[in-house]
Amino acid sequence: MLAFTGPNGRDVREANRLRGRGDFDGALKLYATVLAKTKHPHAYEYIVDTMKRTGWQKTFHSGAWTRLDTQEGLWGWVPVKGHWTAQPDGSLVGRSTNDGALIWCNVDFGQAIELRATVEFLPSTYSMNTTGLVFGNQHGGNWYNCTVAPQNKKASLGENWGVQVQRDAPIRGANKLLVRRIGGKVSLTVNGKKIYDSQGLPGYHLAPGGYVGIFNRNTGSGVKFRIRDVQIRKLQTR
């Protein structure tokens, strides 16, 4: 990668080393110095993306709620399926293709987290809409979804693209989701009502992972939804 081999490669590697050991302020300062000298667009994009993720890590490890904002674009996010656009207000608008929609935040936050967001269903050409949050391993192996669906007023938990359990939930046009995940257990609250409490995750031992993201299960092309105020915080388990 050019960012590592170009004229500023040594500083980039040192900034990454600082970030890896938890010196986020030192890393951000060095990234900013490198960014001011970077001319090549690919190297520039790498530094901007890495600075965004480092800022999130700094806030997260302080114990505060961390807003995974997108006002400046999809920096720090990795689209996998579907079409995704960042909005000026910091929300994300997704549209499914024939195999759904999925986007990951490219930070491993670990396995003791609370994740919250508002899920809004938008007018679509396809009537079915099952949207929510995901967490787990984005690089292969198992990940898990917590979704809500207006067509049947259900909240679901599932492994990868599937559904394991469904329960009635107070679904509205805009829905506040709160996911609490500690290791292989997950709790889900929808619009203030707890739907699942310390539900076990099937196959958890295979690939636990600590990434989070946004998900739409529908296979009909053109399902639209908006995700607002995606926030995460670190839980103390001792």
Pick the closest to residue 47 from 70, 27, 66 (CA basis): 27
Domain boundaries, the chain: 2-62, 77-234
User: What average pLDDT score do residues 127-149 get?
Assistant: 90
Q: Is the pLDDT of residue 3 over 60?
A: no
Model pLDDT, residue 23? 98
- Tens of pLDDT, residue by residue over 173-205, are 899 999 999 999 999 999 999 999 999 987 776
Model pLDDT, residue 123? 87
User: What average pLDDT score do residues 40-68 get?
Assistant: 95
Q: How far apart are CA 22 and CA 45, in angstroms?
A: 22
User: What average pLDDT score do residues 15-34 get?
Assistant: 96
User: What average pLDDT score do residues 48-66 get?
Assistant: 97
Model pLDDT, residue 6? 64
Q: Is the pLDDT of residue 2 over 50?
A: no
Q: Is the pLDDT of residue 230 over 70?
A: yes
- Tens of pLDDT, residue by residue over 63-105, are 999 999 998 899 999 999 999 999 999 999 999 988 899 999 9
- Report which residue type is found at 147: T
Q: Is the pLDDT of residue 4 over 70?
A: no
Q: Is the pLDDT of residue 1 over 70?
A: no
Backbone angles phi, psi at 140, to 5 degrees: 110, 160
Task: Decide: pTM greater than 0.75.
Answer: yes
- As a CATH number, domain 77-234 is 2.60.120.560
Model pLDDT, residue 207? 58
Contact by Cβ (8 Å): 189, 52: no
Q: Is the pLDDT of residue 206 over 90?
A: no
Please report the sign of the dihedral spanned by the C-alpha atoms of residue 123, residue 126, residue 132, residue 137: negative
Between 87-91, 125-129, 156-160, the lowest mean confidence (pLDDT) is in 125-129
Q: How far apart are CA 96 and CA 20, in angstroms?
A: 35
pLDDT mean across residues, the chain: 91
Helix (H) or strand (E) holding 43: helix 41-61
How large is the C-alpha radius of gyration of the chain? 18
Share of the chain above pLDDT 90, in %: 75
Q: Is the pLDDT of residue 7 over 70?
A: no
Model pLDDT, residue 153? 95
Burial group, residue 96, by CB count within 10 angstroms (0-12, 13-18, 19+): buried
Backbone angles phi, psi at 102, to 5 degrees: -155, 135
